[in-house]
Every structure is written in C-alpha cells, then in structure tokens.
C-alpha cells in the first residue's frame, strides 16, 4: 500500500465478526470480503464495485468506508480516499483507525498541520492506541519535534512492537527521519526485529 506511515492492511478486520444480524448485513459483509480479495489481487475496479455495494447495503457501518479508503489509497486515488475516511469519521467520530488512515492521506497530500491536529485529537481520546502513537510520532518527527515523536514511538513500542517495526520499514518514512537522534531510535527498533544469522 503506498503510504507515508502505518495504516492497517485492507483486510485488517476480525474475520467473521461483521454483521451477523440479518441477511442484508451478511450480504454486505460478503461484498466487503470480496472487495478485500479483489484488492489483494490488484483488481481495484472490481474491489471498488464490491465495497460500494456493501456501503449501499449497510451505510451505517464505518468499517466499509475505511475499507473503501484503503482500496482507494492502494490504487493511488488520495482525494477520494480522504473523502472515504472522512465519511467513516462522520459515521463513527471516535474511530481510531479512520483517524489514523485519514492522517496518512493528509501527510501524503502535504497537510501536516491538519494531520497533526487530527492525530492529537485521536490520541486524546485513546492515548494507548499503538497506531495513533506511531502516526502521531511520524508527523511530529516530520515537523522537527523529535522528543515528542520519540515519546509516542516509545509508547507504541510497549504496546505493538511488530507494528512499529513494520512502520519503520517504509523507505519514505525512514528518509524523512534521517536526523541522528531519530535514525538511532529507528535503526535500533528495526535491527532488534531482524533475525540473527542462526535464527533463520
């Protein structure tokens, strides 16, 4: 997925937990699962058709808007992805994932200060959310606020070290964080996660 920092993969939802209440919701879930499968294969037009069908059947479920946004990001349609994540936040204003994903898109579009405000608000709601801490740290680092960035990343390291390592694999993010104090932290996280020669 083209990204500036951490976003969940398209299928990052608990399998089988969406919509068990009625047949229409079950059909919407099936369409969403098909959308995820098509997107994973790079068949974005089919994925978009399926997720839009899911949204028509269940417009109150914010997770479908997040999936729509993720598919749009992967297909390079950042303006449309921004609108999808904004729609998710309209339906579910406290969604941490929607806020994090919208923050990612805002960074990609160069709107660091709006991303900062959005992620700080999300952090206020749920300060222990790992993805929020990772993305907020990334924005703060891009704005030159290294101490604050390191604090948020330290929090994320406690809660989701694998997600933090995955985030730091992104070459664009690593290039943006090349200042010595940040580079040392990032390198220590990434190197610690790599298997040693005898572990493979």
56-83: pLDDT as tens digits: 999 999 999 999 999 999 999 999 999 9
Of 84, 20, 25, 89, nearest to 57 by C-alpha is 25
Cα–Cα distance for residue pair 120/136, rounded to 1 Å:
7
C-alpha separations of 29 from 68, 89, 168 in Å: 13, 20, 32
DSSP state of 21: S
Burial readout 43-61 (b: 16 or more C-beta within 10 A, e: otherwise): ebeebbebbebbbebbeeb
pTM of the entire predicted model: 0.79
Question: Between 146 and 197, whose confidence is greater?
Answer: 146
Range 23-193 classified under CATH 1.10.260.30? no
Cα–Cα distance for residue pair 32/49, rounded to 1 Å:
10
Q: Who's near 12: CB < 8 A, 6+ residues apart?
A: 97
């Amino acid at each position: 997925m083209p990204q500036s920092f951490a976003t969940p993969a398209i299928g990052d939802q608990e399998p089988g937990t969406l919509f068990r209440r009625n047949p229409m919701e079950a059909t919407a879930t099936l369409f969403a699962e098909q959308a995820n499968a098509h997107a994973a294969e790079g068949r974005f037009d089919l994925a978009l058709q399926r997720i839009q069908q899911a949204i028509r059947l269940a417009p109150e479920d914010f997770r479908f808007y997040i999936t729509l946004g993720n598919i749009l990001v992967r297909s390079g349609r950042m303006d449309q992805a921004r609108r999808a994540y904004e729609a998710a936040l309209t339906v579910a204003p406290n969604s941490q994932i929607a806020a994090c994903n919208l923050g990612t898109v805002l960074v990609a579009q160069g709107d660091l200060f709006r991303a900062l405000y959005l992620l700080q608000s999300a952090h206020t709601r749920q300060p222990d959310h790992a993805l929020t801490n990772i993305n907020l740290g990334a924005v703060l680092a891009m704005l030159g606020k290294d101490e604050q960035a390191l604090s948020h990343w330290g929090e994320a390291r406690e809660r989701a070290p694998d997600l933090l390592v995955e985030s730091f694999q992104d070459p664009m993010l690593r290039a943006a964080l090349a200042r010595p104090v940040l580079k040392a932290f990032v390198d220590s996280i990434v190197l610690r996660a790599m298997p040693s020669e005898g572990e493979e």
